[in-house]
Structure 1
Amino acid sequence: MRLRQILHNLLGNAIKFTESGLIRLRLTVQDRSTGSVLLQWQVTDTGIGIPESAMDKLFNPFYQVAGVPSGSGAGLGLSICKRLSDLMGGNIRVVSEPGLGSSFSLFITLAVVDTAPPPPLMTLAAADADAPCLNMRVLVAEDNLVSQAVLREQLEALGAQPTVVPDGKRALDIWHTQTFDVVITDINMPRLNGYELAKALRERGVNVPIIGITANAMREEEQRCLAVGMSAWVVKPLSMDMLRQALVAHCRKANGLLITTPPPTLKDDQEGWIELSQAMRQLMSKTLVTDIAHIEQGLSDMDAIVLRQRLHSLSGALASVNAQTLHIFCQQLEGAIYDGPLTTALVQQIRALCVRLAAVAKCLSD
């Protein structure tokens, strides 16, 4: 995911500043040993290039090269790439000549592991054949033309009806012209950015879910998104599955469609988990038992705040061990509590979650 974020930013910049010629992405093996491999991802373009005087500041947050076209972003993309690369023990190098183009290279050493052959790939149509249609109206605020087209196609493929506008100002202007079930907004846009749009909608009493889309995966981004009233944030590049999960987790209309499906088995709930040591298995089991007790107490008191907080915390813990099935279910329930009252049906769903968690806890303990 982190590699995708870096390449998404580098390729996005290349497309943004290249009017003619070509953009090429190469992946090469620079060095290989028994247990590791040094890989180089190189993004080369024939764009406007970068002057030598700007090289030292290129990866600084909010820095923009003088003379670049207006509306080219907030100047965060390359600083995010640099930070993610550093956190993974890699580095980014750039070579550029004004008028001739630029070449950005990402170098990262990765471990070589033996894995089982992957299962046969399924087509998108087959993979999504049993997924319910998300029949909802979605307002999308996105200034990039390519991202607009991708989001429109993804939402239509999921059964949604998207209305796409180029910035937050336009989104505010058309908000009252029709009924929307959810808002999806890019963070960095001209005229009115995603933060400002979310804040303005909340100040007008809008209570539908607002989902922010950003290239920044840092924790402070989540805090800033939630502080202005967003329900959630997702990181670019956005896959169809990520988009569906976000809508299901936070939009009551979509949530009702998926929560009513048959619950997975214990085997399904444990599929995809990272390998845990015996000590970690015991800790996870003990934590789940504690979470179940808190949730049951919250149900007994019909305390929506406690339930929401506990489900949010539990969702994060499950995500950390890649327990995707349970993680998504917790998000769905948290979103349902946020959107409406504790109905009898919702209480039954939460109790069903507790039963599944108890089975997993027992299996981990055994």
Structure 2
Amino acid sequence: SICSRLSEMMGANLRVVSEPGLGSSFSLQMSLPVIAGALLNSADIDLRNVNIHVRAPLKDIGQSLVDWLCAWGARAQLLPVSEAEDRDAILLDIVTGSTQSQQAAGERVIATASGRSQAQRTARGWEVNAYDIRAIARTLMQVAQGTAPQLSATVPQPQASLELNVLVAEDNPVNREILKEQLEALGVRVTLAEDGEQALVRWSEGSFDLVITDVNMPRLDGYQLTRRLRELDPAVPIIGVTANAMREEGEHCLEVGMNAWLVKPLSLSTLRQTLCAYCPQTTQAPAPVLESAARAEPADDLEGWITLSPAMHRLFISTLQEDLTQAGLALQQGDSATLVSYVHRINGSFATVCAVNLAAACNECEIALLRESLNPESAVAIKALLNRLHGVVARMVEGELYPEG
């Protein structure tokens, strides 16, 4: 399986114990180096003798926060969700998409996925980002001291703009536009192509510092495009992008002449780190930061999706609707080759927006189709998957999976 192969690549041991009627238990053992960190060495954080009650939907999350706060000197303890809090203690409330915020008797700090590192005062209390432990600690300290929270030191400082002209070849319109937004957020000048053949035309029309290409595209895929570009320019950096995390895929990318390969979904930090190696120089002007790219909150808490702008949301829906329709037609006609190409496109769309469960389901379907042609049993399973995805799109149209605000 993919998980087993990934474990082997990391030198780990993955074990599965399964009992009929009881379920399965998975355990992963791996050795990792201990890296000295500076998280606790925050001289500006002092929570000594501060009483804090932590309320969280999951005990493990709450206990982890209690341990951190105690390490900074606080008298912190986990508070059951149903138990009333002490007025003399500050309540740290962890609110997720599946939990509702409750009333508090005294001062309260609310940690949410959509909160900011710089705490904001609301009618409910102080709201802060749940993923920034320093920001949470600073907010608690400042509430205890009766001072307004200041800008968190963990807020990233503006980074230099990347001076690159980049040609992007990507057949999926959703992936294409999201990658364009991400690159422009890094200060990159972007030229788009819908497939390898169009990329060659764009190449002949301009001058580019770097090429980013999807690996699997119709007409001329990323491998073929790389070979053609290497004939035209042996030195231009070429980066492959794929939804396949298997080592063989990466080795194939390098064999055909690519300089590097990245696995979807791509984060801004990954893109910046990769592209910086090919920057001739940088300017001091900060890169424009798009809210949709800079924010790390999900568009849907249950699925873990990234936030899409209204325009991207509409494009995402229309693209999925078309791809699902074509996949359904291919399934009816028993056309395995066409079906797997559309399942791959759908897989890429969900992977790009971090819809992990849906992307995994599509990936399993894609692998099954590549291993074996359609048969009555697999057709039933694929039909069920397509129906599931149609349901997701219907919910998006109705607004259930659309990020508010």
Task: Calculate the TM-score normalised by the size of structure 1.
Answer: 0.39
Higher relative contact order (CA closer than 8 Å, sequence separation 6+)? 1
Q: Which has the higher helix share?
A: 1
